[in-house]
Amino acid sequence: MKKIAIIVGSVLLLIIVGMLCMQGNERNTEVTKERTRVGFIYNGTIDDKGWGQSHYEGISESAKELNLQIMYKEKVPFDDTCMEEMQKMIDAGCKIIICNSFDYGDYIMKVAKENPDIKFYHATGVSTEKNVTTYFGRMYQMRYLSGVVAGMQTEKDSIGYVAAFPISEVNRGINAFTLGVQSVNPDAVVNVVYSESWTDYEANATAAKLLRDKYQVDVLAMHCDTVAPLDVAEEQKIWSIGYNMDNSEDYPDSFLTAAVWNWEAFYTPQLLKCLQGKFQSRQHWEGVETGIVSLSPLTSNAKSGIGKVLEKKRQELYNGTFDVFYGPIVDSQGNIRIQEGENMPDEAMLNSFGWYVKGVQVHEE
């Protein structure tokens, strides 16, 4: 009799769960039944094999699932032009505006104030409003892992890093990468050259060549939105670590791995909430557990043994027993910045990373 009661109870529970799921699906179907227009402002292009393309592919997948019509504008400058483009999209019926660069911040705030019923999503932004939310992923976690690869791959203990600008986002990545390098190779130095541009191919190529010529680096990493450093690495026969997307097929002789984005993992759930009237104005900072960031598979160029070490460290990140900025951490001047047993707060990581860890050497003219 007790077994029958348990079986009946289990069946009823399954029925209730099924009904709740059906109701959830009905709600999802209801809000996506009507097509919603979304405007997307890009600082680069949608086929750059990097930052822009990673967003384009992500929002395209979300558009299929959520019945979105995407209007986009490429190479939008960081001036009043971007406000004009946003307003054009709003006038054309866009209910949501997405901008994919930090430098659009002040302009977004102005347009948002004039259009309180429109929702704005600002990638890598730092300021929010009632109708403005910011979002990014904890890419520093993948930077750390890619640093492990670089630290084990280098023979010269001289690693290059092409960086766009000395802002918190970029410095955070440099430091995480260097901590990864130092965790397996304390003698290695990460040499940084700032190109002063996200999207200028020549500026990024010049920075990469400088690292090769002056510092004799044999591994080259990057935080910019062009593939110039990857091209230089392939030409100069040095190892490369990519960013934004897995471009291993284009660089068969030099590519090791890449810290990559999966923006669909953010856009689909967050835009669905927005369509459901559940828009949240806050700083979204998603970690490795959401799937928004990952490390592309190691290529056959990577040394034997790297994969085993990498997997151990990856598991520590995934299960939460370790994060990158756990103390003790010493800066490049020998000062203890994070005490043992302490972790760097998100606010500091996001907005006030103005220093470098031990092992970083920044090029000065």
For residue 180, give the amino acid letter: G
Average pLDDT, the chain: 93
pLDDT at 321: 86
Q: Is the CB of residue 194 less than 8 Å from the CB of residue 206?
A: no
**Could you count the other beta carbons within 10 Å of the beta carbon of residue 214?**
12
Residue with the two structure tokens 């990856």:
314
For residue 229, give the amino acid letter: P
Please check the confidence at residue 165 and state whether its pLDDT lies above 50. Answer: yes
**Could you count the other beta carbons within 10 Å of the beta carbon of residue 282?**
10
Q: Is the CB of residue 307 less than 8 Å from the CB of residue 184?
A: no
**Could you count the other beta carbons within 10 Å of the beta carbon of residue 348?**
15
Question: Any residues with CB less than 8 A from the CB of 192 and at least 6 apart, and which?
Answer: 161, 163, 174, 360, 361, 362, 363
Instruction: State how far Cα 231 lies from the chain centre.
Output: 21
Helices (H) and strands (E) in the chain, counts: 11, 15
Structure-token pair, residue 207: 């920075």
- pLDDT tens digits, one per residue of 184-193: 999 999 999 9
Please check the confidence at residue 234 and state whether its pLDDT lies above 70. Answer: yes
Structure-token pair, residue 199: 């999207």
H-only helix segments in the chain: 2-32, 51-66, 80-91, 105-114, 139-153, 168-184, 201-215, 228-236, 264-275, 306-318, 346-351
Please count the CA atoms within 13 angstroms of the CA of 269 that sit on its side-chain side. 10
Q: Is the CB of residue 220 less than 8 Å from the CB of residue 211?
A: yes
Q: What is the dihedral of CA 187, 193, 198, 199, to 10 degrees?
A: -110
Question: Any residues with CB less than 8 A from the CB of 211 and at least 6 apart, and which?
Answer: 160, 161, 162, 191, 193, 217, 220, 363
Residue with the two structure tokens 């209801």:
30
* DSSP run (H or E) holding 33: none
- pLDDT tens digits, one per residue of 264-303: 999 999 999 999 999 999 999 999 989 999 999 999 999 9
Q: Which percentage of the chain shows pLDDT scores above 90?
A: 87
Q: Give me the count of residues in the chain.
A: 365
Structure-token pair, residue 191: 């040499």
28 pLDDT band, cuts 50/70/90, is: low
* DSSP run (H or E) holding 122: strand 119-123
User: Could you give the CA distance from residue 120 to residue 123 in angstroms, rounded to a whole number?
Assistant: 10
Q: Is the CB of residue 132 less than 8 Å from the CB of residue 281?
A: yes
pLDDT at 159: 98
User: Could you give the CA distance from residue 87 to residue 82 in angstroms, rounded to a whole number?
Assistant: 9
pLDDT at 29: 58
For residue 222, give the amino acid letter: M
Instruction: State how far Cα 102 lies from the chain centre.
Output: 12
3-state SS, residue 255: strand
The CA-based angle 184-187-189, given to 5 degrees, is: 100
Q: Which percentage of the chain shows pLDDT scores above 70?
A: 92
Please check the confidence at residue 76 and state whether its pLDDT lies above 90. Answer: yes
Residue with the two structure tokens 């690292």:
211
